[in-house]
Structure 1
Amino acid sequence: MKACVAGASGGIGQPLSLLLKACPLIDELALYDVVNTPGVAADLSHISTPAIVTGYLPKDDGMKQAFAGCDIVVIPAGIPRKPGMTRDDLFKINAGIVRDLIKGVAESCPKAYILIISNPVNSTVPIAAEVLKQAGVFDPKKLFGVTTLDVVRAETFVAGITGEKSPSKTTIPVIGGHSGETIVPLFSQAKPSVNIPAEKLDALVNRVQFGGDEVVKAKDGAGSATLSMAYAGFRFAEKVIKAAKGEKGIVEPSYVYLPGVSGGDSIHKTTGCDFFSVPIELGPSGAEKAIDVVSSANEHEKKLLEACYSGLKGNITKGVEFVANGPKYVPAPQHRL
């Protein structure tokens, strides 16, 4: 199992790479970034776990070497949010970064599972899909937007109310997108069920939706949610890898192209969104089934979902138009289909 972290030297990339290096399921770990990757790789390579670590820079076809033969590519590359910035403010810079990295994936490891962390996820995943379509290698079952941090926050914040000592023992579907009002936690479908006092519900929903702002403010302009995002990114990557190796019954929410995933059509009709985060049953082919939790939302959650649909559709269109209005990607001859 070869994994690559694209953006490995950054605030998310370094702790994410550390967690992946510690994972016994990974045999090779390639790190790619525009600066510092040989040093990060050398540092990690001293850790006594099986994965062989290599680091690459853009020179000497570094991206191509990093991606070659990869089974899974995790992409946290991009600039972080700063105080006052929305995820949308990041769009112009991060959109171009993701587009170029996905071109590299299309050329060097078109069959890899692709996990996108780079914000704004609501738009960067549609960008990736469009680039892969242009290259003739788009497999909707293998393209994931990582929304696990929203799930992790929901688990943690609910435990603060219920007193659960192990937050991750509570399964809470968090659906929609990955920014602000597009994030919709479905506390009514928590397993085991949780009792959220009515007077605390709105504040809890808001905290899950805007938890990233809490971290940006607390870091006083020096960073965003990097460590918690690295944990969440690893948690999702590990589940994809376990499912790829044949483990059954693994379910985790992820932002996927609904029309391309089994079970996604009904959710697509309800939401009107091509891309949407719902619990996904993972398997060797990737996203094997989208689980419809939307239709079971209660009245309070349905109101949240209306705001989600509106915002998400605009985010998706923005990503699609970014690729449509940019230079057309012409794949290398060996990858023409």
Structure 2
Amino acid sequence: MKAVVAGASGGIGQPLSLLLKTCPLIDELALYDVVNTPGVATDLSHISSPAKVTGYLPKDDGMKNAFTGADIVIIPAGIPRKPGMTRDDLFKINAGIVRDLVQGCADHCPTAYILVISNPVNSTVPIAAEVLKNAGVFDPLKLFGVTTLDVVRAETFVAELTGVSDPSKTVIPVVGGHSGETIVPLWSLAKPAVNVPESKLDTLTTRVQFGGDEVVKAKDGAGSATLSMAFAGFRFAEKVIRAVTGTTGIVEPTFVYLPGVDGGAEIAKHTGCDYFSVPVELGPKGALKAFNVIKEVNDYEKELLAKAYEGLKGNIGKGIEFVKNPPQK
């Protein structure tokens, strides 16, 4: 199993690469970035785990050498949010970065699973899909937007209310997108069931939706949610790897192209969005089945979803437009 981290020297990329190096299912880990990758790779190569680590820069066909033969490519590349900056503000810069990296995937590892972390995910995943479509190698079962941090936050924050000692034991579907009001935690569908007092619902929901702002503020503008995002990225990547290597029954919310995934067409019709994060069963070919949990939500969650649909439609359209009509340099 060859894994690639594109953007491996950054705030998310380094801890993500560290976690991937510890994964026994990975025997080759290639790191790619515009700076510092050989040093990061050398540092990680001293860790006593099976994965052989290599680091590449753009020079000397670095992208080609890093990506060739990859089974899974994880993309955290991009600039971080700064105080007062929304995910949408990042769009122009990060959109171009993701477009070029996914083109690299199309050229050098067209059958790899691609996991997009780079924000704004609501737009960067459609960008990735359009690039792959243009190259004639788009497989909707293998393209994922990583929304796991929203799930991790929901698990963590609700545990603070319920007193559950291990937050990860509570399964909470978080659907929609990966920014602000497009993030919709479905507390009513938690398993085991959780009792969130009505007086706490808005506060808890808003905290999940805008958890990134909480981190940016706490870091005094010196950074964003890098460590928690690295953990979430690793959690999802490991689940994909486990699924494609034979483990069955793995389900995790992820932002996918619904018309291309079994069960997705019904959700696309319900939401009016071709891209949406829902619980997806992972299998040997990637996305095995999307589950329509939307039809089970309560009235409170229906109101949240109505706002999410509108925001998502604009975000998705913006990503597609970026590829079809690139901004002038």
TM range (shorter): over 0.9
Q: Secondary structure at the match of 1:178?
A: coil
2:225 aligned residue:
225
1:20 aligned residue:
20
Q: TM-score scaled by structure 2?
A: 0.99
Q: CA deviation at 1:275?
A: 0.2
Q: CA deviation at 1:67?
A: 0.3
Q: CA deviation at 1:283?
A: 0.4
Over residues 286-334 of structure 1, what are the superposed CA-to-partner deviations in whole Å (9 max), with x where a residue is unaligned? 001001101111000000000000000000000000000029xxxxxxx
Q: Identity across aligned pairs (percent)?
A: 79
Separation in structure 1 between the aligned mates of residue 195 and residue 316 of structure 2, nearest angstrom:
34
Question: What letter matches 1:242 in structure 2?
Answer: R
1:87 aligned residue:
87
Separation in structure 2 between the aligned mates of residue 119 and residue 268 of structure 1, nearest angstrom:
22
User: Is 2:264 the counterpart of 1:249?
Assistant: no
1:324 aligned residue:
324
Separation in structure 1 between the aligned mates of residue 297 and residue 3 of structure 2, nearest angstrom:
36
Separation in structure 1 between the aligned mates of residue 292 and residue 111 of structure 2, nearest angstrom:
27
Separation in structure 2 between the aligned mates of residue 167 and residue 305 of structure 1, nearest angstrom:
24
Over residues 14-52 of structure 1, what are the superposed CA-to-partner deviations in whole Å (9 max), with x where a residue is unaligned? 000000000000000000000000000000000000000
Over residues 138-180 of structure 1, what are the superposed CA-to-partner deviations in whole Å (9 max), with x where a residue is unaligned? 0000000000000000000000000000000000000000000
User: Is 2:173 the counterpart of 1:173?
Assistant: yes
Query: Which runs of no fewer than 5 residues in structure 1 stay unpaired?
Result: 328-337
2:144 aligned residue:
144
The residue correspondences of 1:186-205 to structure 2 (distance < 5 A) are 186-205=186-205
User: Is 2:67 the counterpart of 1:55?
Assistant: no
1:98 aligned residue:
98
Spell out structure 1 runs of 4+ moving beyond 6 A: none
Question: What letter matches 2:118 in structure 1?
Answer: S
Q: Secondary structure at the match of 2:114?
A: strand
Over residues 127-146 of structure 1, what are the superposed CA-to-partner deviations in whole Å (9 max), with x where a residue is unaligned? 00000000000000000000
Separation in structure 2 between the aligned mates of residue 199 and residue 155 of structure 1, nearest angstrom:
19
Q: Aligned pair count?
A: 327
Q: CA deviation at 1:57?
A: 0.0
User: Is 2:208 the counterpart of 1:208?
Assistant: yes
Q: Secondary structure at the match of 1:254?
A: strand
The residue correspondences of 1:147-166 to structure 2 (distance < 5 A) are 147-166=147-166
Separation in structure 1 between the aligned mates of residue 160 and residue 187 of structure 2, nearest angstrom:
14
Over residues 246-303 of structure 1, what are the superposed CA-to-partner deviations in whole Å (9 max), with x where a residue is unaligned? 1000000000000000000100000000100000000010001001101111000000
- Root-mean-square deviation (Å): 0.6
2:312 aligned residue:
312
Q: Secondary structure at the match of 1:127?
A: helix
User: Is 2:123 the counterpart of 1:123?
Assistant: yes
Separation in structure 1 between the aligned mates of residue 102 and residue 156 of structure 2, nearest angstrom:
33
Q: CA deviation at 1:234?
A: 0.1
Q: CA deviation at 1:93?
A: 0.2
Question: What letter matches 2:176 in structure 1?
Answer: G
Separation in structure 2 between the aligned mates of residue 54 and residue 215 of structure 1, nearest angstrom:
31
Q: Secondary structure at the match of 1:157?
A: helix
2:297 aligned residue:
297
Separation in structure 2 between the aligned mates of residue 207 and residue 272 of structure 1, nearest angstrom:
26
Separation in structure 1 between the aligned mates of residue 257 and residue 181 of structure 2, nearest angstrom:
20
1:261 aligned residue:
261
Separation in structure 1 between the aligned mates of residue 266 and residue 130 of structure 2, nearest angstrom:
22
Question: What letter matches 1:66 in structure 2?
Answer: A
